[in-house]
Amino acid sequence: NAGVTQTPKFRVLKTGQSMTLLCAQDMNHEYMYWYRQDPGMGLRLIHYSVGEGTTAKGEVPDGYNVSRLKKQNFLLGLESAAPSQTSVYFCASSYSERDGNEKLFFGSGTQLSVL
Amino acid sequence: SQQGEEDPQALSIQEGENATMNCSYKTSINNLQWYRQNSGRGLVHLILIRSNEREKHSGRLRVTLDTSKKSSSLLITASRAADTASYFCATDNSNSGYALNFGKGTSLLVTP
């Protein structure tokens, strides 16, 4: 069972460079999320998607874009990386039915450093 | 917004002891969840308690919820070294799918 898979696991960028983080889930989940985790800040929601072809902004969306072209994939893009985007990024997914199964399944994270 | 706030920030106990972590939140919720994060790993769901529930058990875990005080507690009984991890409470945000608002976490260290 793969669950939620994130690639890459580590990446170092220079300021101004662009990159895309890929999240794939094999659980047929409708909902997918991107969070960032910074020391002392907990997890903060960047963007989320409630279905294929739909995306929406979360708490800290500036500097990021997302796409959900296929139900199983959720891509997070940084068009022009900044040092403030140094963080650990987590993708998560969940079912859509409100039946006691609303828990999130997380990937193992991407450690991104922007120099 | 980080609605949940855990207390204490860090907790150190010996194997066999019980560990209690508390969580306070600000606005009304549909459910509250607890997650565990081992160092360098993703978060793993532990337990979900609905707003109309007061207590829930899962193995060595006991969660309570007091909606009048907007607080929850997680009790881990008979702790083991393998329980060493960070624990987060999370409240639902009905405006963002099932996106959760996470607190900053409690770092638990269980020593043999």
Smallest CA–CA distance, residue A112 to chain B, in Å, is: 13
Rounded CA separation A108/B55 (Å): 30
Q: By the 8 A CB rule, do B111 and B16 touch?
A: no
Residue B94 has pLDDT above 80, yes or no: no
Q: What is the overall mean pLDDT for chain A?
A: 93
- pLDDT in the model for residue A64: 98
- pLDDT in the model for residue B3: 67
Residue A100 has pLDDT above 90, yes or no: no
A109/B41 CB distance under 8 A: yes
Residue A87 has pLDDT above 90, yes or no: yes
- pLDDT in the model for residue A11: 96
Percentage of chain B modeled with pLDDT above 70: 92
Rounded CA separation B63/B75 (Å): 6
CB of A107 within 8 Å of any CB in chain B? Answer: yes
- pLDDT in the model for residue B93: 65
Question: A69 is written with which tokens?
Answer: 């072209």
A48/B96 CB distance under 8 A: yes
Looking at beta carbons, which residues of chain B come within 8 Å of A40? 104
Rounded CA separation A2/A82 (Å): 31
Chain B residues 22-41 within an 8 A CB cutoff of chain A: 30-31, 33, 35, 40-41
Q: By the 8 A CB rule, do B110 and B29 touch?
A: no
A31/B1 CB distance under 8 A: no
Percentage of chain A modeled with pLDDT above 70: 95
B2/A41 CB distance under 8 A: yes
- pLDDT in the model for residue B2: 55
Phi-psi bin for A71: left (phi > 0), alpha (psi -120 to 50), beta?
A: alpha
pLDDT confidence of A42, banded at 50, 70, 90? confident
Q: By the 8 A CB rule, do A26 and A34 touch?
A: no
Looking at beta carbons, which residues of chain B come within 8 Å of A7? none
Q: By the 8 A CB rule, do A56 and A4 touch?
A: no
- pLDDT in the model for residue B27: 85
Residue A23 has pLDDT above 70, yes or no: yes
Q: From B5, which residue of chain A is nearest by alpha-carbon distance?
A: A42
Report the range of poorest mean pLDDT among A23-27, B1-5, B89-93.
B1-5
pLDDT confidence of A102, banded at 50, 70, 90? confident
pLDDT confidence of A62, banded at 50, 70, 90? very high
Mean pLDDT of B60-77: 97
- Cβ atoms < 10 Å from Cβ of A42: 22
A103/B33 CB distance under 8 A: yes
A40/B96 CB distance under 8 A: no
Q: By the 8 A CB rule, do B47 and B58 touch?
A: yes
Looking at beta carbons, which residues of chain B come within 8 Å of A59? 1
Residue A48 has pLDDT above 60, yes or no: yes
- Residue from the list A44, A96, A107 with its beta carbon closest to the beta carbon of B42: A107
pLDDT confidence of A101, banded at 50, 70, 90? low
Verify cis geometry, omega within 30 degrees of 0, for the bond prior to A83.
no
